[in-house]
Amino acid sequence: MSRQQEYVLRTLEERDIRFVRLWFTDIQGYLKSVAVAPAELEGAFAEGIGFDGSAIEGFSRISESDTIASPDPSTFQILPFHTEQDGFLSARMFCDITTPDGQPSWADPRQVLRRQMKAAGQAGFTCYVHPEIEFFLVRSVETDGYPPVPADSGGYFDQAVTDEAPNFRADAINSLERMGISVEFSHHETAPGQQEIDLRFADALSMADNVMSFRYLIKQVARRNGVRATFMPKPLSDHAGSAMHTHLSLFEGDENAFHDPDDEYRLSATAKSFIAGILEHSCEISAVTNQWVNSYKRLTSGDEAPRAASWGASNRSAMIRLPMYTQNKAASRRVEVRTPDSACNPYLTYAVLLAAGLKGIQEGYELSAPAEVDVSMMTRRERMAAGYKDLPADLDHALRAMEKSELVADALGEHVFEFFLRNKWREWHEYQSQITPWELRSNLEF
């Protein structure tokens, strides 16, 4: 038994923890959980927990349904809430999903990201991620299809405006920090009820785990404050949607591979090719970074959401922005990708972003000139004349681009690639079949 496993078992006994929740995600990024008693955990470390993989969408066929969840002791954390039934603490660990013979499951999003991190490691890089996660606090999510009512009427950086839950952000940050998830900033965003919490950087896999924990904790804290949290990309038609702006950097040992003190933008050749790779493959990866029908309502509405594959220094209308606050600090040189939304699967999103960037480095992609205008205010013809490739305007276009992509197929693996497409095409066709209130208001009298 490893030291980490021994630490987990000792902590369970010392803290009198009654249940351990073993977490993993499905391909769409829904959190799955099985609770085990501490007495069963030593066996779970040795042999894993068996479950019916065919009951999890996209995991395995019914003829190959035996699947193993192997807890990763390095992810052990005590949950910050006592159970309401008996007042005892519980803990959680993320799991790696394997087949009965011990091989990594091709359906496990955690394994998908781990493969890309291995590819980065073989190229000499470690990838660090720092997300800015936006979400809405609303009075209820049970709206019968009507728009939700925001929990406050505040705007950008407003102080103490969360009318229905004034202590929410303090409670949320405290809960995150107690689980070892470091918070860098938090503030009210532009729309009523909209919040942003930025997490301190970590390696890509740890951060993907943190994002999943974040979404769980935020929903729990919201309930305890009498409101609800939603990570839906655009729940309000007249206001900005919720992004997960993602800062990425590559390090070679202790050195930031993106920094060059002699460059105008302090960008190395590695960084420029990395940016060029993400821009070149932006349409192909869009269905992963923006996986829902609703995701494209955010991207096409403006409000600082990118419409085209462009980059710029401090330009919040560009798809990739260079933060210029500390441009001379080598360790802080990073790129901010502004397309992902808060409802993506973070494992798959980080995997395809890393794959596209690494492709740019491997192939020596050249970076185009930076955008120095508000790209979102340009017409389509103006964007074409400037050489900016439009991002997909809906899930249909995004899936068509993904279907043709060797890069995404390689990054996700055949199993995840095929299931993702099949599942999302079903979502798109179900959406297309709906008759919307707008259509009835506009056309019923014709």
365 token code pair: 């992609």
**CA dihedral of 414, 275, 341, 312, whole degrees rounded to 10:** -160
Tell me which DSSP letter residue 391 carries. P
Cβ-count burial 151-188 (b if 16+ within 10 Å, e if not)? bbebeeeeeeebbbbeebbebbbebbeebebebeebeb
Check whether 132 is labelled as a binding-site residue. Answer: yes
Binding site annotation covers 130? no
Structure tokens at 55: 């009951």
CA distance 43 to 49: 8
Query: Binding site annotation covers 298?
Result: yes
264 assigned to a ligand binding site:
no
Two tokens, residue 238: 């007249």
Beta carbons of 394 and 297 less than 8 angstroms apart? no
- The 3-class secondary structure across 213-251, one letter per residue, is HHHHHHHHHHHHCCCEEECCCCCCCCCCCCEEEEEEEEE
Report whether 3 belongs to an annotated binding site.
no
Cβ contacts of 401 within 8 Å, gap of 6 or more: 283, 284, 286, 287, 392
**Is 249 a known ligand-binding residue?**
yes
User: Is 189 known as a binding-site position?
Assistant: yes
338 is in an annotated binding site: yes
State the DSSP code for 104. Answer: B
Is 322 annotated in a binding site? The answer is no
- Give CA–CA dist 298/344, Å, rounded: 13
User: Does residue 445 have a known ligand-binding role?
Assistant: no
Tell me which residue has tokens 């007042």: 87
For residue 248, say whether it is annotated as part of any ligand binding site: yes
184: annotated binding-site residue?
yes
405 in helix, strand or coil?
A: coil
- The answer to whether residues 416 and 347 touch, using CB atoms and an 8 Å cutoff, is no
Phi, psi of 279 (to 5 degrees): -65, -45
Are 145 and 435 a contacting pair, CB within 8 Å?
no
Phi, psi of 243 (to 5 degrees): -100, 170
304 known ligand binder: yes
Q: How many angstroms separate the Cα of 78 from the Cα of each of 75, 88, 101, 182?
A: 10, 11, 31, 15
Q: Is-contact 79 9, C-beta < 8 A?
A: no
Residues forming the annotated binding site for L-glutamate? 298, 304, 316, 338
Residues forming the annotated binding site for Mg(2+)? 132, 134, 189, 196, 245, 336
Residues forming the annotated binding site for ATP? 184, 247-249, 316
Residues forming the annotated binding site? 132, 134, 184, 189, 196, 245, 247-249, 298, 304, 316, 336, 338
